């Protein structure tokens, strides 16, 4: 199994004008990305928001599916949502990984734009095989804030198809990137 | 550009007990899958439901984003949702393709289970390069009904990662499959 952790962050992300915002949690992000994380064998799925009411909302949704009525109704959903951990910041997620792994993870960010120093999927697939802990971070809204992207250890190439349209949902992007890094045929 | 059409059908699909049902439309299926269809250059995205109130709901959502307030608010969302066509049955979608292409499409279905006669992604990627029209069909709920799957011209391999968990959302599965068939690196 890969030594990979996944985070979805709601701060610092940008809105359509490029201003830094706290975005709201989307219920289906939790479901879709936790199911992809479970499929591809990542260790945890950190949902990161600084807003306490949003943290409470996420906990309520998770509890419904992991110990509430949802758990018996849909055990497959339960086993995916059990991977979710709610954190205040990405730094808190990294601290949690340090407790588990004995070292901080390298951070890996994703963006719809191409950066000069970005890493290809095949190349990063090989990096993961070495077994060191990595934290793959997805941004909500219009994407991660610029300063946050440039602070990361790795920036992945954007996902591309045969068109120049680059507006996938974060749910789709997370599934596709996990598949490119960890999928088998 | 690939000669590929995509359909998301709400009948005939099965519920958790395996009974055939008409499923309800999920708003984010329309958004996520149309954006993936646009990214990977497929020609149209058919949303198929026999329920007239559900057809009306889909039309209302599309109109909001293609000619309503949503169109000016988010032009990228507009250009994706413009690819959506609402149809009563998969046969109706195939008829529409025949009008456009002058011939019926071959049908391609997806399933979380492995079939003896299933086609690999690399193999089907080559089939698409020939340029004949194909209709790639995704099922909602617990997936396409068995009889519908066995009637298709192609059954794609299931998506696999390093685990045996096979419960991706249809939104994630559609993105991943389009990437495996049409993604570039």
DSSP string, B130-160: T---EEEEEE-TT-B-HHHHHTSSEEBPPPB
Give the tens place of pLDDT for each residue, A3-54: 999 999 999 999 999 999 999 999 999 999 999 999 999 999 999 999 999 9
Residue B131 has a CB neighbour count (10 Å cut-off) of 10
Longest dimension (CA), chain B: 49
A165 in contact with B, Cβ within 8 Å: yes
Is A28 in CB contact (< 8 Å) with chain B?
A: yes
Cα B106 to Cα B40: distance, rounded to the nearest angstrom:
19
Digit-coded pLDDT (tens) for A72-82: 989 999 999 99
Average pLDDT over residues A96-125: 95
- Determine the pLDDT at residue A68: 83
Alpha helices in A14-169 (DSSP H): 27-39, 52-66, 69-73, 75-81, 90-101, 121-129, 146-150
Residues of A in contact with B122 (CB under 8 A): 185
Q: Would the CB atoms of A39 and B168 count as touching at under 8 Å?
A: yes
Whether B179 has its CB under 8 Å from any CB of chain A: the answer is yes
Answer yes or no: do A179 and B167 touch at CB < 8 A. no
Contact A180 B175 (CB under 8 A): no
**A119, closest residue in chain B (CA to CA):** B185
Beta bridge partners of A9: A48, A139
Q: Of B184, B159, B162, which Cα lies nearest the Cα of B170?
A: B159
- How far B165 CA lies from chain A's nearest CA (Å)? 5
At B176, the pLDDT band (50, 70, 90 cuts) reads very high
Q: What percent of chain A has pLDDT over 90?
A: 92
- Dump pLDDT digits (tens) for A89-99: 999 999 999 99
Question: Does any CB of chain A come closer than 8 Å to the CB of residue B112?
Answer: no
Q: How far apart are CA B90 and CA B21, in angstroms?
A: 15
Please answer whether residues B113 and B120 qualify as being in contact, where contact means their C-beta atoms are separated by less than 8 angstroms.
no
pLDDT mean across residues, chain B: 96
Range list of H helices, chain B: 27-39, 52-66, 69-73, 75-81, 90-101, 121-129, 146-150, 170-182
pTM for this model (two decimals): 0.97
């Amino acid at each position: 199994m890969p030594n990979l952790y996944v985070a979805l962050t709601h701060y610092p992300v940008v809105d359509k004008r490029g201003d830094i915002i706290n975005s709201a949690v989307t219920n289906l992000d939790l479901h879709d990305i936790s199911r992809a994380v479970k499929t591809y064998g990542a260790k945890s799925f950190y949902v990161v928001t600084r807003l306490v009411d949003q943290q409470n909302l996420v906990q309520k949704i998770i509890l419904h599916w992991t110990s509430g009525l949802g758990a018996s109704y849909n055990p497959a959903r339960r086993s995916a949502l059990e991977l979710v951990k709610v954190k205040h910041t990405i730094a808190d997620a990294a601290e949690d990984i340090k407790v588990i792994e004995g070292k901080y993870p390298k951070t890996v960010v994703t963006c719809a734009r191409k950066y000069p120093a970005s890493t290809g999927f095949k190349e990063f697939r090989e990096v993961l095989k070495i077994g060191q802990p990595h934290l793959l971070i997805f941004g909500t809204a219009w994407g991660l804030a610029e300063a946050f992207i440039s602070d990361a250890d790795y920036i992945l190439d954007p996902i591309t198809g045969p068109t120049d349209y680059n507006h996938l949902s974060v749910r789709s992007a997370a599934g596709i990137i996990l598949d490119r890094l960890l999928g088998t045929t």
